[in-house]
Amino acid sequence: MSSHASRFLKWSLLFGLTLGVSATAETTLWRDPAQPADVRAEALVQAMTQDEKLQLVFGQFGSVQKRPAFYPAVEARMGSAGYVPGIARLGIPPQWITDAGLGVATQRQSAAPYRERTALPGSIAAAASFDPAMAYRGGAMIGAEARASGFNVMLGGGIDLLREPRGGRNFEYAGEDPLLAASVVGAAIAGIQSNGIISTIKHFAFNAQETGRMVASADIADSAARMSDLLAFELAIEKGKPGAAMCAYNRVNTVYACESDYLLTTVLKNDWRYRGYVMSDWGAVHSTEKAANAGLDQESAYTFDAKPFFGAPLRQAVIEGKVPQARLDDMARRIAYAMFATGLYDNPVAEAPIDFEASRKVAQAAAEGGIVLLKNAGVLPLTSSVKHIVVIGSHADKGVMSGGGSSTVFPQGVNAVPGIGPQGWPGPVVFLPSSPLAALKSALPGATVEYLDGADAKAAAAAAAKADLAIVFASQWSTEDADHDLNLPDGLDDLIAAVAAANAKTVVVLQNGGPVLMPWLDKAAGVVEAWFPGAGGGEAIARVLTGAVDASGRLPVTFPASLAQLAHPALPGTDANGKPFAIEYTEGAAVGYKWFAKNRSTPLFPFGFGLSYTHFSYGKPSVATKDGRLTVTFDVTNTGKRAGAAVPQIYVGPAAGADAAQWEAPFRLAGWGKAVLQPGETRAFSVSVDPRLLARFDSAARAWTVSGGTYTVSLGASAADFRQTASVHVDAALYAVDSFAKQ
């Protein structure tokens, strides 16, 4: 009997007999949806030939059709990110892979017409909404569009912590805090996968900047890593259960992420008990044996790598015993597991019509939840007493800006402002046809609303001088493959200063992917951060400006007052000229507001900050402890005259005896609530605190350790605005590294 057959028999005895299935059913057990995913995956791998296993773990770019000889058919969806052929005899569908940073993307290499789909606001806006339920709805919407477009694997969501405010992909990520990022990205992943398709958490790990992303090494100690970016991945995986994880381009502690035994096997698969598969980023594979043995399960798009490393070379490595057969089986088993666990195997995708109006409403609601009001010197919301408004700049007459790179989504209809930015990769700049100007006009029928493109600052200032109020739209495009500086481009700072000098009632609406500096802040009467606001962005901006909906977003990232305040005042690797360099994350887990609090720096706007059109008062929190978990309860009252969204935040930090020196910062975000309160309404909130947020990671003990002592629980409106505090004693505790794994 071959070893293959003997293992099958052993497996059948183990599972088949205990489950009481017949001899015939045993051979096709993977087809039975009533069986657990792991049982089906094992049965499927047992039934696969070596060729089939090798095929399953070897992907190609969806837009280039260079196929190895053994591929049965090429049926990629053109213009997509990737494709792995199916295995019809086993019922394994092809993997049709699309990017998902904003929605169903189209690689611009494909010929027009582009795949026209609905763009959500950037993930940073989802984080700003502090609303996981909204993030789930967004994920569910883009997942439904993916399914209707014939895709069954989505490459979202990005969750690298925002360590580099100049990072080109910050709009694809969810800010600087591990808990907030995990809550919204985990929810978005669950939403995508509610469509019976796979979602991919990425980029594992520490791909915080684009500069030197193919060569840089992100260097960080294990303990700090586990308490920062890795914690974000860990919590999001627990919550969203993504079928796939994508290893990053960069190196981590000198080792390529896709060859890192530490990241892929020790942390992800062993410590977190992750059951899904690891796919490589497009062009992130550098070896066969090293990558395979480190834990890479799929070479996603071999055309991007220097040469194919899986496929024939992997077959040879297995023959030579350099990669164990068991490792190849494990790769196939993990992909199969993800297909069964998500429903992909049982629910074949098929192209179907899309209800764009319904999708746009989801995107608009997401934008409304994430827009942050940063400054309001009594000018907002706009009222009917404002009779003459001048709107300036950023093509506000046509649409709203969206993010670039592989996540680029082409809107239904046309790019509202074609021809801007790079026309090749990573462009073009896409404007979604949702005009803030048109939306403002229809919301304010009694006012004259005129538009100037802002190209001539003097003309804009002159028009502003004659108006009751001016609104300057200022955009900074950001994209994969390029970082940017923190000043607005194209002379926008000067334009804003000129308009604000001409009219004291000047409101600035920002569309961008992360923090910017605001040299004109003192002169502006209002500032609104709209991020890249997605398919219904124009309407959402108008509704926030007019107060039809409260400004309910809060910053998921600290806006610095100057570069000097950052952990890395200069962008690492700027002068590396393509040569390898290290990004020394010596700040460790003190990312964003933690860095600012530790250094007692005052930012331009703190993490968690955002104004409402009403006001809230905060009651004293009470804290209960049970099994090492804190539950914080408190009341919030709307003390103003309008309904509005409260986003009370809970921060925890060590006090007496609680080993403060071991913490990366004085406090950490431990939870929050979000609710719309009517005038005078009081609402009770309850926040449950994960023990890891009271712990430090002890690398030697391989455990989360909580020091016994007193902790301070603060209730605040931002990381720099604590309104109430309470103290609580917490007993010492130790949680083994794998004790939170649930998958």
- 281, 329, 330, 690: which is the annotated catalytic residue? 281
DSSP 3-state helix, strand, coil percentages of the chain (rounded to 5)?
30, 20, 50
Q: Which among 82, 431, 419 has a CA at the least distance from the CA of 284?
A: 82
In this structure, which amino acid lies at residue 36? Answer: P
Question: Which residue has 């003309």 as its token pair?
Answer: 459
Neighbours of 347 (CB within 10 A): 15
Q: How far is the CB of 726 from ligand BGC (least distance, A)?
A: 42
* H helices present in 416-563, as ranges: 436-443, 457-466, 492-502, 537-545
Residues near 408 by beta carbon (within 8 Å), at least 6 away in sequence: 102, 105, 106, 108, 402, 426, 427, 428, 430
Instruction: For residue 709, count other CB atoms closer than 10 A to its CB.
Output: 17
The span from the CA of 527 to the CA of 406, in Å, is 30
- Tell me how far, at minimum, the Cβ of 405 lies from ligand BGC, in Å: 7
- Pair of tokens at residue 449: 């609303």
The residue nearest ligand BGC at its CB is 406
Query: Which residue number, 202 or 241, has a Cβ lying nearer to ligand BGC?
Result: 202
Strands 277-280 and 506-511: unpaired
Instruction: Judge whether 281 counts as a catalytic residue.
Output: yes
Q: Which residues contact 363 (CB under 8 A, 6 or more apart)?
A: 118, 119, 120, 121, 138, 141, 534, 535, 536, 537
End-to-end, the C-alpha distance of the chain in Å comes to 35
Helix, coil or strand: residue 261: helix
**Strand arrangement, sheet containing 733-736:** 696-698, 703-706, 733-736
Applying CB under 6 A, the residues found at the interface with ligand BGC are: 81, 99, 155, 202, 281-282, 406, 480
User: At closest approach, how far in Å is the CB of 280 from ligand BGC?
Assistant: 10
Q: Closest CB to ligand BGC among 99 and 330? A: 99
DSSP reduced 3-state for 28: coil
Residue 733 forms beta bridges with which residues? 706
Say how far apart CA 509 and CA 516 lie, in whole Å.
12
Nearest Cα to Cα of residue 309 among 286, 334, 280 = 286
- Phi, psi angle pair for 129, to nearest 5°: -75, -15
Mapping DSSP onto H, E and C, the string for 107-158 reads CCCCCCCCCECCCCCCHHHHHHCCCHHHHHHHHHHHHHHHHHCCCCEEECCE
Cβ closest to ligand BGC, residue 202 vs residue 674: 202
Beta strands in 557-681 (DSSP E): 582-584, 616-618, 622-626, 629-638, 644-646, 649-654, 668-672, 675-677
Toward ligand BGC, which CB reaches closer, 193 or 406?
406
624: tokens are: 């209960």
Nearest approach, Cβ of residue 282 and ligand BGC (Å): 4
Least distance between ligand BGC and beta carbon 248 (Å): 8
Task: For ligand BGC, give the closer residue by CB, 124 or 540.
Answer: 124
Name which of 293, 381, 301 is nearest 95 in CA terms.
301
CB of 203 to ligand BGC, least distance (A): 6
471 contact partners, CB below 8 Å, separation of at least 6: 389, 390, 391, 392, 396, 440, 506, 507, 508, 509, 545
* Distance (Å, whole) CA 279 – CA 481: 20
* 247 vs 695, beta carbon nearer ligand BGC: 247
CB of 202 to ligand BGC, least distance (A): 6
Residue 463 in contact with residue 450, Cβ under 8 Å?
yes
Sign of CA dihedral 263, 266, 268, 272: negative
Cα–Cα distance for residue pair 215/237, rounded to 1 Å: 27
Q: Which is nearer to ligand BGC, 394 or 406 (CB)?
A: 406
Instruction: Write the burial class of residue 602 (CB in 10 Å: 0-12 exposed, 13-18 middle, 19+ buried).
Output: exposed
| Secondary structure of residue 674 in the 3-state scheme | coil
Write phi, then psi, for 719 (nearest 5 degrees).
Answer: -70, -10
DSSP 3-state of 84: strand
Nearer to ligand BGC, 155 or 499 (CB): 155
* b/e map 10-45, b = 16+ CB within 10 Å: ebbeebbeebebeeeebbebbbeeebebebbbbbbb
Considering the complex, state which of residue 99 and residue 368 has its C-beta at the smaller distance from ligand BGC: 99
Least spacing, CB of residue 101 vs ligand BGC, in Å: 7
Q: Closest separation between CB of residue 100 and ligand BGC, Å?
A: 8
Count Cα neighbours of 666 within 13 Å in the Cβ-side half-sphere.
13
> For residues 213 and 696, which CB has a smaller minimum distance to ligand BGC in the complex?
213
Q: Based on CB atoms, which residue is closest to ligand BGC, 480 or 483?
A: 480
- Give least dist CB 155 to ligand BGC, A: 4
Shortest distance, position 172 Cβ to ligand BGC, whole Å: 8
**Shortest Cβ 561–ligand BGC spacing (Å):** 31
Nearer to ligand BGC among residue 83 and residue 593 (C-beta): 83
Identify each DSSP E strand in 220-336 by its residue range.
244-247, 251-252, 255-256, 277-280
Closest separation in Å from C-beta 343 to ligand BGC: 22
Our CB check for ligand BGC shows the closer of 402 and 638 to be 402
Beta strands 372-376 and 448-452 are unpaired
Catalytically active residues are 281
